[in-house]
Chain A
Amino acid sequence: MIRQQLARWETLLAVTLAAVIILGALASPFLLTPGNFSNLTVAVIEVSIMALPMSLVIIAGEIDLSVESMVGLSSSILGFLYAAGVPLWIAILVVLAVGALGGLLNGLLVTRAGLPSLVVTLGTLALYRGLALVVLGPQAISQFPSAFTTFGFGQIPGTPIPWPLVVFVILGIGLGLMLHRTWVGREIYAIGKSPRAAAFSGVRVARVKASLFVLSGVVASLSGVILTARFASARADAGTGMTLTVVTIVLLGGVNIFGGSGSIVGVVLAAATLAVLENALRLTGIPADYQSIVVGLLLIVSVGLPNAAHQVNQAVDRAHTGRPPPTGSIAPG
């Protein structure tokens, strides 16, 4: 029943995506040209990449608001180390390790100290941004080697496919398989639907949740690396405001904000919709300020609509199974 409902949500998303592409192409003939493909995919690639692990975190009933600051911290550390003469590949490894540590701190505060992740990651959202500013200050580091910046905005030779998209596709397939085909994914759903029943069935709830926060941290720091490469510039304020967009993509993708349901396919479709929308708005000359309005509206719609759909579904289920509604939800008479 849940799977059917998700399937319906994903169908709706696919239709929306098609509509956005058609409308966008009508508004600007440039949208569907091969030369635009790179711009279209890359503009929101970092948030799209971070939306993938964020989906798992939210399905498991938690949230990680600190990702955008981890992007900044990664960019800072990368720039600082590179400017200090550390070989770039070592700097990148250090950055990924910092991402893992940051995620681990989030995870331990949530699972060991038993604090709500909303509060914990709100705290580390400020903490990691503060660290980023301490490491690099207000300066920007540039003059990265061209091999590195090519990774940010270059394409696979002979194709219009940009490198960051490759990262997104590989991560999407990997996490999709993990969530939907392995027992790890099964445990994630069990934790999100009923943490007590999961624990009483031998699921190591704390370990799974902490691992998801680590994953989220590592991927956020990877996104920081990509962002730095794409702008060929390392800055402490990189990624500011991204968390909102990441969460919007996840929820628009049909993931339940309260955990327990959602799919990677939905999240990928949502990311694609946002990418096309953003690109179409830009091509038609709508100022960037307005894009924030679009993201905000999408967030509300993506939370409101599945809720409404869920209620309709429940009403239909009740009609079929005779299960009573919650007290007072049906107006008598």
Chain B
Amino acid sequence: MTIAGGAAVERPVAQAPRAELREVSKRFGATQALASVSFELLAGEVHALVGENGAGKSTLVKILAGLYPPDSGLVLLDGQPQQIHGAAQARDFGIAVVHQEPSLFPDLSIAENVFLGHQPVGRAGSIDWRGMRRAAQALFDELGVRLDVASPVRGLSMADQQLIEIARALSFDAKVLVLDEPTASLSTHEVDQLFVIARQARAKGVGVLFVNHRLEEVFELSDRVTVLRDGRHVITAPSIGLTPRDLIRHMVGRDVTMFPKVAATPGDVLLEVDGLSRAGEFEDVSFAVRAGEILGFAGLVGAGRTEVARVLFGVERPDRGVVRLGGRPVSFESPAAAIQGGIAYVPEDRHQEGLVLDFSVAENISLPIIARLFPRLFVGRRAEARVAGEFSAELNVRPAGVERIVSGLSGGNQQKVVIAKWLATKPQVLILDEPTRGIDVAAKAEVHRIIGTLAAEGLAIMLISSDLSEVLAMADRIIVMHEGRISAELSSAEATEEKVMVAATGQQAGGA
């Protein structure tokens, strides 16, 4: 049940692939999203699908899920050519897709969500509630997940919601299970739980398609890897014979250095937090960040890191505690006040909080400073474009051209626009909340390079990240939070993945 990496459970050689795409092409206007891609998903394998944003992963998944018809080529299920019309039919064919953002009904119970659309029916044609709860409970027991199936979904963590989606997929005996970037918002132990379940599905002969950005996870879970680049198939190979470096080269088409770290010499303390508390969120949080220093914040999702950042940025008010900026106590009533005080915050949710998606690059970059930029009320388009151009060029936003609407940019470039916007405010303290979530490898390396450079230029940086390798590689010091409290503070020299995890999960290091 817990074979890591390696070959899957005995696989009947003669069996046709669970799902197969044969020379499938799909075009959207001028963009060739998929160009004659062939791909096989075998029974009883975990097959990772990787590629940069825009490589064609989502298009492939959506064709398999029946959301797009292919322009040409064939889709075969268990060896039979099929046309899949819509999500409902895909489900009838035994294809289950778990999306990155769970789409459950918050006010229905867990059991109802699992069996929605195929509820067990009792004698009089009414829903057999007890049978449904029992079946759901059995399903979760089998998955080794402890959840009360009668309770509503509202309020459950993202991880639990995804587990429910998976249970839902397995409830109708899926032959193909597609996990579309399932781990993007999960913490490490939740990812482990997900992996156990994916392996169970594999052992039952399900073909598991695993779409992911995080390469460590690809190597940990998958039997084979397929790389797409610019809508073309690059390689399909057993993951055991590949190195992360190979994979990145295939994805990007060239070598990329991960985590380029610039040596920085920390200066004076810029931000000092003493005994900060907010009921129900975090308790007695104290730390200091120096100019030129990257202070990492590790912890599980929900440990209170984002909540601390929001208080510092003036979104919420603390119950207790003191915040000092450059030695002076401050208390920000609003983000506007925090921005004036020299704090910038790159939020976790790029689409809702980071950017006005319908605005151009220039309009997004100028928004926090627009009143300062144009004290006479009237916006000078040319002056605005010049300022925006300066910062977007500094961060290498592509494609260039500040008149572009940001919703058309890739995730990585959108994130660069968010950072550019904050650099334009000339902040002293930059708070980054999951700055590389959901962006591709090359863009990630670029964001890391930018963070390193900014620290070297004297910014005090708070780096909140659930990506452990990112925090370990980038941060000068690491604060670990657990259930709203600081559970450890580690220097980069002493920090290891294990020490951080021990502190993040609230376990005491044995005896020490």
- Point out residues on A near B: beta carbons under 8 Å: 1-2, 178, 181-184, 186-187, 189-190, 193-194, 196-204, 260-261, 318-324, 327-328, 330, 332-333
Bound complex: CA of A333 vs CA of B336, how far in Å? 50
For A181, give its contact among B31, B371, B379 (CB under 8 Å).
B379
Bitwise interface map of B from 53 to 95 toward A, beta carbon under 8 Å scored 1, else 0: 0000011001000111100000000000001111100000000
In contact, A323 and B28 (Cβ under 8 angstroms): yes
- Point out residues on B near A: beta carbons under 8 Å: 27-31, 33, 58-59, 62, 66-69, 83-87, 313, 315, 334-336, 338-340, 345, 347, 352-359, 363-364, 366-368, 370-371, 373-374, 377-379, 405, 407-408, 421
A330-B68 contact in complex given A182-B377, A186-B367, A197-B355, C-beta closer than 8 Å = yes
Residues of the A chain whose Cβ atoms lie less than 8 Å from the Cβ of B33: 322
Residues of the B chain whose Cβ atoms lie less than 8 Å from the Cβ of A186: 363, 366-367, 370, 379
Bound complex: CA of A323 vs CA of B28, how far in Å? 8
Bound complex: CA of A181 vs CA of B379, how far in Å? 6
In contact, A197 and B356 (Cβ under 8 angstroms): yes
For this complex, 28 residue pairs linking A to B, each with C-beta atoms less than 8 Å apart, are A1-B405, A183-B371, A189-B359, A190-B359, A190-B367, A193-B357, A193-B359, A194-B356, A196-B353, A197-B352, A197-B355, A199-B334, A201-B421, A202-B340, A203-B367, A204-B334, A204-B336, A261-B358, A319-B28, A320-B30, A321-B29, A322-B27, A322-B33, A324-B28, A324-B67, A328-B67, A332-B68, A332-B85
Bound complex: CA of A54 vs CA of B105, how far in Å? 36
Bound complex: CA of A196 vs CA of B353, how far in Å? 5
For A327, give its contact among B87, B335, B338 (CB under 8 Å).
B87
A200-B83 contact in complex given A181-B379, A320-B30, C-beta closer than 8 Å = no
Nearest Cβ distance between residue B128 and chain A, in whole angstroms?
A: 29
Instruction: Identify the 5 closest CB pairs spanning chains A and B, nearest first.
Output: A322-B28, A322-B31, A319-B29, A202-B336, A320-B29
- Add 12 more A-B contacts to A2-B358, A321-B408, A333-B69 (CB < 8 A): A178-B377, A193-B356, A193-B357, A194-B352, A197-B354, A197-B355, A200-B347, A319-B28, A320-B29, A321-B28, A322-B31, A333-B85
Bound complex: CA of A52 vs CA of B355, how far in Å? 28
For B354, give its contact among A200, A204, A330, A332 (CB under 8 Å).
A200
Bound complex: CA of A199 vs CA of B334, how far in Å? 8
Bound complex: CA of A198 vs CA of B334, how far in Å? 12
In contact, B367 and A332 (Cβ under 8 angstroms): no
Nearest Cβ distance between residue B404 and chain A, in whole angstroms?
A: 10
Residues of the A chain whose Cβ atoms lie less than 8 Å from the Cβ of B370: 183, 186-187
A201-B87 contact in complex given A193-B358, A324-B58, A327-B67, C-beta closer than 8 Å = no
Bound complex: CA of A322 vs CA of B263, how far in Å? 42
Residues of the A chain whose Cβ atoms lie less than 8 Å from the Cβ of B367: 186-187, 190, 198, 201-203
Bound complex: CA of A190 vs CA of B355, how far in Å? 10
Residue of B with least CB distance to A180: B379
Residues of the A chain whose Cβ atoms lie less than 8 Å from the Cβ of B59: 324
Residue of B with least CB distance to A178: B377
Residues of the B chain whose Cβ atoms lie less than 8 Å from the Cβ of A260: 358
Residues of the A chain whose Cβ atoms lie less than 8 Å from the Cβ of B86: 328, 332
Bound complex: CA of A324 vs CA of B68, how far in Å? 9
Nearest Cβ distance between residue A296 and chain B, in whole angstroms?
A: 31
Bound complex: CA of A148 vs CA of B84, how far in Å? 73
Residues of the B chain whose Cβ atoms lie less than 8 Å from the Cβ of A196: 352-353
Residues of the A chain whose Cβ atoms lie less than 8 Å from the Cβ of B355: 194, 197
Bound complex: CA of A200 vs CA of B315, how far in Å? 8
Residues of the B chain whose Cβ atoms lie less than 8 Å from the Cβ of A181: 378-379
Residues of the A chain whose Cβ atoms lie less than 8 Å from the Cβ of B356: 190, 193-194, 197-198, 201
Residues of the A chain whose Cβ atoms lie less than 8 Å from the Cβ of B357: 193-194
Residues of the B chain whose Cβ atoms lie less than 8 Å from the Cβ of A203: 336, 367
In contact, A332 and B66 (Cβ under 8 angstroms): yes
